[in-house]
Structure 1
Amino acid sequence: MPTANRHIVKTIAASIEINGKPEVIWQNITEVKIEQFSDPLLFRLLDVPKPLSAEIIAEGAGGQRIAYFSTGKKFIQEIIIWKPLEEYSFSFNPEEGFRVGYFFELKTGIFRMLKGAYFLKNQEQSTTLKLTTEYSIDKRYSFLLQAPIKIILKAFQRYLLHSIKKNAES
Structure 2
Amino acid sequence: MPAAHLVRIIESKVCIAAPAAVVWEHITNVQLEQFADPLLFRLLDVPKPLRATLLTEGAGGSRTAYFANGKKFEQQILRWEPNKFYSFRFNPEPGFRVGYVFELSAGIFRMLAGAYELREEAGDTVLTLRTEYSVQRSLRWLLLAPITAVLHLFQRYLLRSIKRNAEHEAV
Task: Report TM bin, short chain.
Answer: over 0.9
Q: How far does residue 125 in structure 1 lie from its aligned partner after superposition?
A: 2.3
1:145 is matched with which residue?
143
In the alignment, structure 1 segments of 5+ residues that lack a partner are none
Find 1:76's aligned residue among 74, 77, 87: 74
Q: SS of 1:107's equivalent?
A: coil
- 1:2-81 maps to which residues of 2 (within 5 A)? 4-81=2-79
Q: How far does residue 41 in structure 1 lie from its aligned partner after superposition?
A: 0.3
Cα distance between partner residues in 1 of 2:125 and 2:30 = 18
1:169 is matched with which residue?
167
Cα distance between partner residues in 2 of 1:66 and 1:140 = 32
Across the aligned residues of Structure 1 and Structure 2, the Cα RMSD in angstroms comes to 0.7
| TM-score, normalised via structure 2 length | 0.97
Q: SS of 2:3's equivalent?
A: helix
| TM-score, normalised via structure 1 length | 0.98
2:88 is matched with which residue?
90
Cα distance between partner residues in 2 of 1:111 and 1:74 = 17
Deviations 1:6-38 (Å, cap 9, x if unpaired)?
000000000000000111100000000011000
2:104 is matched with which residue?
106
Cα distance between partner residues in 2 of 1:153 and 1:104 = 13
Q: How far does residue 114 in structure 1 lie from its aligned partner after superposition?
A: 0.1
- 1:127-142 maps to which residues of 2 (within 5 A)? 127-142=125-140
Amino acid of the residue matched to residue 58 of structure 1?
A: T
Give the 4+ runs in structure 1 shifted more than 6 A: none
Identity %: 57
In the alignment, structure 2 segments of 5+ residues that lack a partner are none
Q: How far does residue 87 in structure 1 lie from its aligned partner after superposition?
A: 0.2
Amino acid of the residue matched to residue 143 of structure 1?
A: W
Cα distance between partner residues in 1 of 2:112 and 2:73 = 11
